[in-house]
């Protein structure tokens, strides 16, 4: 087996372990609607964060951009595949943390995600895949193109649904009533 193949197995193992942990936590494997859609674009819905792609997918691609940049600066000598495994572990940790009762409750209290009950396992696994896609893109694109793409995601998603990665982090850590009112359309 090649080194690349070994690291790919490590990454797949992290994803499988994450799915197992989420199932053990009581997360639903797929949407309670009974099917998996390739995408779901309605944010204020019980099916949000239940399918393969949703309005929050660009934020996971941006996670990949950010993990690539940080790991390139701090651990560039490790090589691309070990850094991809570290990024996968970080994203997996977030997916597990995001689906704890405490974080779900925080989302519901501090953000506009009133009907958020956590991700399905298939959505969490897909989110990890999208992070890896962002990581791979950042490895191939010039830095300016990666930054431009991240800004386009933030501006486009912010315009479309009044939420994005930056607003999501802000509202989780330091909720502002003015932002909540704007997100609610007021």
Q: Which two tokens stand for residue 39?
A: 């995408």
Per residue in 2-53, pLDDT tens?
899 999 999 999 999 999 999 999 999 999 999 999 999 988 888 889 999 9
Q: What is the pLDDT of residues 110-164, one digit of tens each?
A: 776 667 889 999 999 999 999 999 999 999 999 999 999 999 999 999 999 999 9
Structure tokens at 167: 């607003």
Total count of domains within the chain = 1
Question: What is the tens place of the pLDDT at every residue in 153-179?
Answer: 999 999 999 999 999 999 989 988 999
The reported pTM is 0.94
Largest CA distance in the chain: 57
Segment 73-110, tens digit of pLDDT: 999 899 999 999 999 999 999 999 999 999 998 888 87
CA 90/CA 2 separation, integer angstroms: 24
Average pLDDT over residues 46-72: 96
Mean pLDDT of 52-58: 96
Rounded Cα gap, residues 105 and 174, in angstroms: 15
Containing structural domain, residue 30: 3-183
Query: In this predicted structure, what is the pLDDT of residue 30?
Result: 97
Count of beta carbons in the 10 Å neighbourhood of residue 3: 10
pLDDT at 113: 67
pLDDT at 62: 98
User: In terms of DSSP H, where are the helices of the chain?
Assistant: 3-24, 57-75, 80-98, 101-110, 121-140, 143-161, 165-173, 177-183
């Amino acid at each position: 087996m090649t080194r690349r193949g070994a690291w790919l197995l490590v990454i797949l193992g992290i994803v499988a372990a994450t799915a197992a942990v989420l199932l053990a936590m009581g997360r639903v494997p797929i949407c309670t609607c009974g099917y998996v859609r390739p995408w779901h674009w309605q944010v204020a819905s019980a099916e949000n964060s239940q399918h393969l792609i949703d309005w929050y997918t660009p934020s996971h691609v941006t996670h990949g951009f950010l993990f690539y940049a940080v790991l390139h600066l701090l651990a560039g000598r490790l090589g691309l595949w070990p850094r991809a495994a570290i990024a996968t572990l970080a994203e997996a940790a977030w997916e597990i943390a995001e689906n704890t009762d405490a974080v779900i409750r925080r989302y519901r209290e501090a953000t506009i995600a009133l009907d958020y009950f956590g991700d399905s396992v298939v959505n969490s696994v897909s989110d990890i895949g999208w992070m890896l896609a962002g990581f791979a893109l950042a490895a191939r694109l010039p830095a300016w193109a990666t930054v431009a793409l991240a800004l386009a995601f933030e501006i486009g998603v912010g315009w479309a649904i009044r939420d994005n990665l930056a607003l999501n982090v802000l509202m989780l850590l330091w909720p502002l009533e003015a932002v909540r009112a704007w997100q609610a359309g007021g």
